[in-house]
């Protein structure tokens, strides 16, 4: 992977969804600023938070508007976990019971005795 520093908004690597092995790293002063910036995009397939403070990481990742969140890791969510994105990312969820719902037509039947 390539870590890119000295990067700002307005650069495609920051503004667009990217799947390549490149990671833009931008400075911040307040955690809320990071959450706001991360959520101010049309994309939300996944997000990872890297920190020495696990509780803070869990708090931050739970506030990210993304389909899958990680703390101190990034990768596959697991075979039985749902996988999908938020906003313009993904096309619904796959895997697990949630993925099967995309292929199910529910029907409610009422019968009077």
**Residue 38 to residue 52: CA distance in whole angstroms:** 20
The residue among 103, 97, 104 whose CA lies nearest residue 82 is 97
Q: What is the pTM of this model?
A: 0.70
The residue among 17, 11, 52 whose CA lies nearest residue 38 is 17
Looking at the domain 2-103, which fold is it?
Answer: Aldehyde Dehydrogenase; Chain A, domain 2 (3.40.309)
**pLDDT at position 66, please?**
87
The residue among 67, 102, 61, 65 whose CA lies nearest residue 85 is 67
Domain coordinates in residue numbering, the chain: 2-103
**pLDDT at position 59, please?**
94
**Residue 63 to residue 87: CA distance in whole angstroms:** 14
Per-residue pLDDT of the chain (113 residues; tens, 9 = 90+): 899 999 998 999 988 888 888 888 888 899 999 999 999 988 778 888 989 999 999 999 999 988 888 899 887 767 666 677 777 677 666 666 666 777 777 767 677 67
């Amino acid at each position: 992977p390539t870590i890119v520093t000295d990067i700002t908004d307005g650069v495609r690597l920051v503004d667009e969804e990217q799947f390549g092995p490149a990671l833009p790293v931008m400075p911040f002063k307040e955690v809320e600023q990071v959450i706001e910036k991360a959520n101010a995009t049309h994309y939300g397939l996944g997000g990872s938070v890297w920190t020495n403070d696990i509780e803070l990481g869990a708090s931050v990742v739970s506030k990210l508007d993304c389909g899958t969140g990680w703390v101190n890791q990034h990768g596959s969510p697991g075979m039985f976990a749902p996988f999908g994105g938020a906003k313009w990312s993904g096309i619904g969820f796959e895997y697990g019971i949630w993925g099967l719902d995309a292929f199910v037509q529910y029907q409610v039947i009422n019968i009077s005795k």
